[in-house]
Amino acid sequence: MHSDCLFCKIARGELGTELVLETENFVAFRDINPQAPTHILVIPREHIASLDQLEPRHGEIMGEALLAIQTLAKQENLDQGYRVVVNTGSHGGQSVAHLHFHLLGGRSLQWPPG
């Protein structure tokens, strides 16, 4: 638990952010600056700074994250597809140092990313 981490505060409900999904180990909420009609962030309740800090003990709950994303995609009617992004480190474009999965959908997305 990191008292000064923005996403830890959101996971603890301290900022009043509406959660669109809660599981034992994850919470999900809408991105404040959406890049697509659906733009949801899925984060572990545990403070993990980035994908690069993931440990073998996290392996089991990461499957839970992907299933939560699948559930959210159904809730959001993303039947034409969607994209899951984990920006990691400075070259990866990570701006918040708490692991998060971006779920993007609702429009056709370009590839390659910038």
Residue 98: name its binding partner from ligand 5GP, Zn ion, none (Cβ under 5 to 8 Å by kind).
Answer: Zn ion
Instruction: Tell me, by CB under 5 A, how many residues bind Zn ion.
Output: 6
Q: Is 100 a catalytic residue?
A: yes
Q: Which does 95 bind (CB under 5 to 8 A by kind): Zn ion, ligand 5GP, none?
A: ligand 5GP
Could you count the other beta carbons within 10 Å of the beta carbon of residue 71? 14
Q: For residue 107, what are the CA distances in angstroms to 26, 38, 52, 81, 84?
A: 25, 9, 29, 9, 14
The minimum distance between CB 98 and ligand 5GP, in angstroms, equals: 8
Closest by Cα among 56, 49, 34 to 89? 49
Q: Between 97 and 109, whose beta carbon lies closer to Zn ion? A: 97
